[in-house]
């Protein structure tokens, strides 16, 4: 059975320059995102960072249909596979996913895109494992993973609730008047808002 991702690619290939054979207009934004994404696994770490920044800029211009086409059709499983095969670092994947989740939460909060994908399960397991560590805990990684998880989709197992609350509240309550810190506070608050919608 064809996924929407497959159908989108077919539409892009079989259509004329301006329109596909079924009359649906091609989406240059979706095309550029898929093209850049397909190039990621063939780049080194620095090149990936450059392409991810370009991807993030394009994501900000998507409409809801383009967003659904691109991100609800297997890209999360592809990212999970790339992480497992060490074709993309977890840190680079988080940069892309966090921006994507931030965009979803602000523009299309009714679109639930993360639950059920292997990447959602992987992130959930990593969050639990990192939170259990007594020594060598990577606090930034834990916060980033919590934010990614909630910004992409606020539906989550109840066992993650206390982890989300304790870690994100600590960031959200930071009173430092520093632009970078305040941006972190805003993202943490947005993630907590997503979580409250589920609760």
Tell me whether residue 104 is exposed, middle or buried, using C-beta atoms within 10 angstroms of its C-beta: 0 to 12, 13 to 18, 19 or more: buried
Tell me whether residue 140 is exposed, middle or buried, using C-beta atoms within 10 angstroms of its C-beta: 0 to 12, 13 to 18, 19 or more: exposed
Cβ atoms within 10 A of the Cβ of 40, count?
Answer: 20
114 within 8 A of 76, measured Cβ to Cβ: yes
Q: How far apart are CA 76 and CA 71, in angstroms?
A: 7
In three-state secondary structure terms, 117 is coil
The answer on pLDDT for 8 being more than 70 is no
State residue 15's pLDDT score.
35
CA distances for 15 relative to 6, 64, 71, 90, angstroms:
14, 22, 22, 36
7 or 135, higher pLDDT: 135
User: Structural domain of residue 167, as residue ranges?
Assistant: 4-198
The answer on pLDDT for 198 being more than 60 is no
State residue 140's pLDDT score.
93
DSSP 79-108: HHHHHHTTSS-HHHHHHHHHHHHHHHHHH-
The tally of domains found in the chain comes to 1
Predicted confidence band of residue 10 (pLDDT cuts 50, 70, 90): very low
Predicted confidence band of residue 72 (pLDDT cuts 50, 70, 90): low
Structure tokens at 128: 């639990």
pLDDT of 79-93, one tens digit each? 999 999 999 999 999
State residue 114's pLDDT score.
83
Cβ atoms within 10 A of the Cβ of 26, count?
Answer: 17
């Amino acid at each position: 059975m064809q996924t929407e991702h497959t159908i989108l690619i077919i539409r892009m290939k079989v259509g004329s320059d301006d329109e596909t054979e079924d009359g649906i207009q091609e989406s240059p934004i979706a095309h550029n995102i898929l093209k850049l994404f397909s190039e990621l696994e063939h780049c080194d770490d620095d090149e990936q960072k450059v392409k991810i920044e370009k991807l993030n800029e394009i994501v900000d211009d998507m409409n809801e249909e383009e967003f659904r086409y691109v991100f609800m059709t297997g890209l999360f499983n592809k990212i999970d596979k790339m992480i497992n095969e060490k074709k993309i670092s977890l840190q680079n994947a988080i940069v892309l996913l966090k921006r994507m989740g931030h965009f979803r939460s602000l523009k299309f909060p009714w679109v639930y895109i993360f639950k059920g994908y292997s990447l959602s399960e992987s992130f959930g397991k990593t969050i639990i494992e990192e939170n259990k560590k007594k020594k060598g805990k990577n606090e930034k990684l834990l916060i980033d993973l919590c934010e990614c998880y909630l910004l992409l989709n606020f539906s989550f197992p109840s066992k993650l609730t206390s982890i989300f609350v304790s870690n994100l509240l600590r960031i959200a309550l930071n009173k430092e008047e520093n632009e970078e810190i305040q941006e972190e506070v805003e993202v943490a608050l947005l993630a907590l808002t997503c979580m409250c919608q589920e609760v």
